[in-house]
Amino acid sequence: MGTRRLIPIIITATIAGIIFVGAFSGFGPLVMFMGVGMKWMVIIGGVAAGLGAVNLTQIHGRDFLRRRKEWWNSLALLVVMFGTIVIGIAFSPTHVIYRWLFDWVFTPLTTTMVSLLAFFIASASFRAFRIRSLEAGVLVGAAFLVILGRSAIGTEIWSGIPVIGAWIMDVPNVGGSRGILLGASLGGIAVFLRVILGIERGHFVG
Amino acid sequence: MQPQHIIFLILGTVMVALLIWAPGMEYSIEESTLSFYRAIDELPAGSLVLVGADFDVENRAEILPQMEAILRHLMEPDRDLRIISISMWDQGPMVMDVFLRRIGDELGRTYGVDYVNLGYAPGVHTMIRLISHDFRGAFVRDFSGTPLDELPIMDEAGGILDIPMIVDFADRESGPIIYLEQVKTQNPQIKVLASINAASFPPLEPYLQSGQVDGAVVGLKGAAEYEELMGMEGLGKRGMDAQSVGQVLVMALIIAGNVVALIIARRKKGRVVG
């Protein structure tokens, strides 16, 4: 293994090891180091946002300068991104201009995208809920009972519908969710061990 | 016009009509909403409450009606609760600031004394852990740029571990779960309440059932229920009427589609046999 790979692995293993032991032992100096490490992480998190902006500028700046296909979209992205950054830094996020951009440009655009989901869901559920087998029938039945159970109309049809809908959410749903949570947690521990032991090296690439 | 466009047109027309008309349907109130309401009701006067603004504006249709009703409950002058708002993600504080100031002004609460919006700090899990004992671990100024030392409410607020209740407005289950993992594990006495969109609720339900989450207001229905408990007429009830009828319409279309598909399949089968 080359030095370029070995040094990051040693740094990762050392810091993760100190934080891991510090969290479980409560040993003073290690806990103090944990505090410093956490502050570093918050700072790195802030810097990462800036790094994202640099990356976007490189990719879309190149597309714009070389007049690649649909270059005007890249130009629009850069103008909007830098315009918002400059206004946010020069004034503040509570300034009237920044507020206006957020309330009357950003919010309507993002909410419109999500609102379209109502129509996509109508179309997708129409296709997904084709009852071609017993399993599909059970899926449709369960979905209907949960939807009706959480609306006023379900109670009007039969008072038992909300009870059955709640049972589906409380028993099969929770059972499935717990299984997924446990599996994901065990997977997380395995990945943590692979990273600090230097077995997982995918994050060094790129 | 394609057949799906006719369906979209019917769906859109029905939902808009119901948003305007608002027939005022009645809903049974879920136990999780009642627990949420009672937890705030039982909090001693003068207590500090941490309010998380952990949502993106795209989910405002569900989160904003919840916020309107719950913040009004939290900011009732007789209750004298003090609010500190923070965010693990960057869009929430913009919306939270407007709501806190508007409701605060209406109810005669003073910014910096009765409530404050500290805004967003990066780091997610790490940021929450950092402010366990002192908010100054991640926040130096509030959302408007005022230093924390100039805000009287921050004089008595140490860190999250000194606050008896966390109310998290979230559009992802990870918001309340982070508070459970990073805060409630250190102090199990702290109550964690989740006000969350309906799509994110199923993964959170195990935590509600186990009692780690002390109450939950879920989706537009939760907002409508909370409005009912508060004696309010708001967007929650109005939106829930439209959503209920929209869902029933989609179900009716699914049933109709299946019946038509079944008839066509039988006819084809009959032709093959004949």
pLDDT at position B5 is 84
Residue A93 CA to residue A104 CA, distance in Å, equals 14
Rounded average pLDDT over A47-57: 91
Residue B201 CA to residue A3 CA, distance in Å, equals 47
Does residue B185 belong to the interface with chain A, where contact is any CB pair within 8 Å?
no
pLDDT at position B57 is 93
Please write the tens of the pLDDT for every residue from B227-243: 999 999 889 998 988 88
Q: Over 60: is that where the pLDDT of A206 sits?
A: no
A residues 25..44 contacting B (CB < 8 A): 35, 38-39, 41-42
Residue A75 CA to residue A59 CA, distance in Å, equals 11
Residue B207 CA to residue A174 CA, distance in Å, equals 9
Radius of gyration of chain A (CA): 26
pLDDT at position B43 is 97
Residue of chain A whose Cα is closest to the Cα of B28:
A152
- Contact (CB, 8 A) for B37 and B69: no
Please write the tens of the pLDDT for every residue from A160-189: 898 999 899 999 999 999 999 899 999 999
pLDDT at position B273 is 64
pLDDT at position B274 is 59
Please write the tens of the pLDDT for every residue from B71-96: 999 999 999 999 999 999 999 999 99
Residue A67 CA to residue A87 CA, distance in Å, equals 28
The share of chain A scoring above pLDDT 70, in percent, equals 98
More confident residue, A159 or A205: A159
Does residue B13 belong to the interface with chain A, where contact is any CB pair within 8 Å?
no
ipTM metric: 0.83
Mutate to test the interface with A, among B11, B217, B251 (most CBs of A within 10 A): B251
Domain chopping of chain A, boundaries: 3-116, 117-194
3-class state of residue B228 by DSSP: helix
Residue A174 CA to residue B216 CA, distance in Å, equals 15
Does residue B127 belong to the interface with chain A, where contact is any CB pair within 8 Å?
yes
Cβ burial, residue B66 (10 Å; 0-12/13-18/19+): buried
What is the distance in angstroms between the Cα of A34 and the nearest Cα belonging to chain B? 10
Rounded to whole angstroms, the maximal C-alpha distance in chain B is 88
What is the distance in angstroms between the Cα of B199 and the nearest Cα belonging to chain A? 12
More confident residue, B176 or A117: B176
- Contact (CB, 8 A) for B168 and B192: yes
Please write the tens of the pLDDT for every residue from A57-108: 999 999 999 999 899 999 999 999 999 999 988 988 889 999 999 999 999 9
- Contact (CB, 8 A) for B137 and A87: no
Asked if B126's CB is within 8 angstroms of A38's CB, the reply is yes
Residue B25 CA to residue B150 CA, distance in Å, equals 48
Does residue B248 belong to the interface with chain A, where contact is any CB pair within 8 Å?
yes
pLDDT at position A205 is 65
pLDDT at position A1 is 65
Residue of chain B whose Cα is closest to the Cα of A19:
B126
Does residue A106 belong to the interface with chain B, where contact is any CB pair within 8 Å?
yes
pLDDT at position A23 is 84
pLDDT at position A87 is 92
Domains of chain B, earliest start first: 27-239 (3.40.50.720)
φ, ψ of residue A151 in degrees (nearest 5): -125, 160
Mutate to test the interface with A, among B10, B94, B111, B128 (most CBs of A within 10 A): B94
Does residue A120 belong to the interface with chain B, where contact is any CB pair within 8 Å?
no
B81: Cα separation from own chain's centroid = 19
3-class state of residue B118 by DSSP: strand
What is the distance in angstroms between the Cα of B44 and the nearest Cα belonging to chain A? 32
The residues, ordered by sequence, that sit 6+ positions from A32 with a Cβ below 8 Å of its Cβ are none
* Confidence class for position A132, pLDDT limits 50, 70, 90: confident
The residues, ordered by sequence, that sit 6+ positions from B71 with a Cβ below 8 Å of its Cβ are B51, B83, B99, B100, B103
- Residues in chain B predicted with pLDDT less than 50, given as ranges, are none
What does the DSSP 8-state code read for residue B30? P
- Identify which of B185, B205, B181, B183 has the alpha carbon closest to the alpha carbon of residue B194: B205
- Contact (CB, 8 A) for B179 and B168: yes
Signed CA dihedral, B22, B29, B169, A114: sign only: negative
pLDDT at position A195 is 86
- Contact (CB, 8 A) for B154 and B111: no
> Helices B60-74 and B92-106: crossing angle, nearest 10°?
40
